[in-house]
Structure 1
């Protein structure tokens, strides 16, 4: 059978230690301590993914090297990197969805985040996470179709059962978490 290795999110402290070790003394000296801490704190609050921390460090370092006024990565560089990363069209679009569509996306996020590392869920599983008094199965199916038409979800229409129709995000889950979390 299939064996999956499940990676649990790293904490701020763990991310900080891993990044310092990966960067080594030469590259670590290019980062202001507060700047590196901010990157690790933000990522640990969203996804805890060490790959994401390293990617953001790399992009921030690139941005800082273009800045002739500073010889270190500063908090300002980190803020600019996060602004650039998280003000994408897709993130803005998610922030502007109606409350019903957001609730369905939140249910999908919950299902995928707490579903032991799965990347795929079903319409039925999404429906099970929502308030049955507020949403009918037909509502959930319709909203998933709308979100698919907008490019936020991928629906597998090959299933014989609509309830077991598979649903996956068309983006990394950490972007969805960020967009949903920072709209409140």
Structure 2
């Protein structure tokens, strides 16, 4: 299920249970009635809430309701939540919400290089398309940045497309495909990775001004540290100014940082909370964290910043 705003979770859950689409407020009333009414013949309902971080709001009402309902005597409801933040209850949730959570928590660390190799090899089982060293190369590159299995698979998928395209061109010219193109090699994986550097999002970051890059990096650093999907403008600004002080860069005024944030929003690099223009304005990336890191990794300044 894709939730455009937290309260829309009510709409999606009620539609899944009844096949009826109603407004969020109406869905909330119907769900509360269903979960509070005895129904011996009603089947248990298991709700999987992925990307739980995105449902965090200032009042946390939606999260409270979803974790409160399973405690009702007649709800027959089980909620399994998945979040990017390992200590989400302690870090971001109020005591009111945290007290409703179950005691079972499983922490998942980012995939290691060895695990990424096994994941890719499991997808390629029975297919002799990659040389072993090419898989290891892709896994090492991704493991050093994020440990995201999806990114490793994307790189491998693009590498296969490069091989297929080259083979088709050779066949069209009446030439036999070269032997080293029969399998994906390190060279081809490296080409696939470089193409990802050339993606529109990466180019957008690479062509940004110094302070735009610093703002994006400050936001990315903040998101990674907290494990959240968004951050407040004040926190990003504080990190931005700290980077400037550490590296003897003339710091911008707070009004200038507001303009920088707005310009990144206009270029679709950021998604900025509408209707709010203060220090508590929520900001999130419209590009992936990996795109920001890939775009800045060759810059000596940001190489030093990554070591902080």
TM-score with structure 1 length normalisation? 0.87
8 Å Cα contact 2:232-2:280 kept in structure 1: yes
Q: Which moved more, 1:7-16 or 1:51-60?
A: 7-16
Give, in angstroms, the shift of residue 148 of structure 1: 1.2
**How does 1:141-180 map onto structure 2 within 5 Å?**
141-159=258-276, 162-180=278-296
8 Å Cα contact 2:201-2:287 kept in structure 1: no
Alignment partner for residue 141 of structure 2, among 39, 42, 52? 42
Q: Does 1:86 align with 2:197?
A: yes
Alignment partner for residue 163 of structure 2, among 57, 60, 64? 64
Q: Does 1:10 align with 2:111?
A: yes
In 2, Cα distance between equivalents of 1:114 and 1:153? 18
Q: Any runs of at least 4 consecutive aligned residues in structure 1 with deviations exceeding 4 A, and if so which?
A: none
8 Å Cα contact 1:95-1:183 kept in structure 2: no
8 Å Cα contact 1:123-1:140 kept in structure 2: no
Q: Which moved more, 1:44-53 or 1:87-96?
A: 87-96
Structure 1 unaligned residues grouped into runs of 5+: none
Give, in angstroms, the shift of residue 76 of structure 1: 2.1
CA RMSD of aligned residues (A): 2.0
| DSSP-derived class of the 1:10 partner | coil
| DSSP-derived class of the 2:275 partner | coil
TM-score with structure 2 length normalisation? 0.54
In 1, Cα distance between equivalents of 2:110 and 2:295? 18
Give, in angstroms, the shift of residue 175 of structure 1: 0.8
8 Å Cα contact 2:205-2:213 kept in structure 1: yes
Q: Which moved more, 1:91-100 or 1:70-79?
A: 91-100
Give, in angstroms, the shift of residue 179 of structure 1: 0.6
Structure 2 unaligned residues grouped into runs of 5+: 1-62, 65-80, 85-107, 168-176, 246-250, 301-308
In 2, Cα distance between equivalents of 1:100 and 1:171? 17
Greater CA radius of gyration, 1 or 2?
2
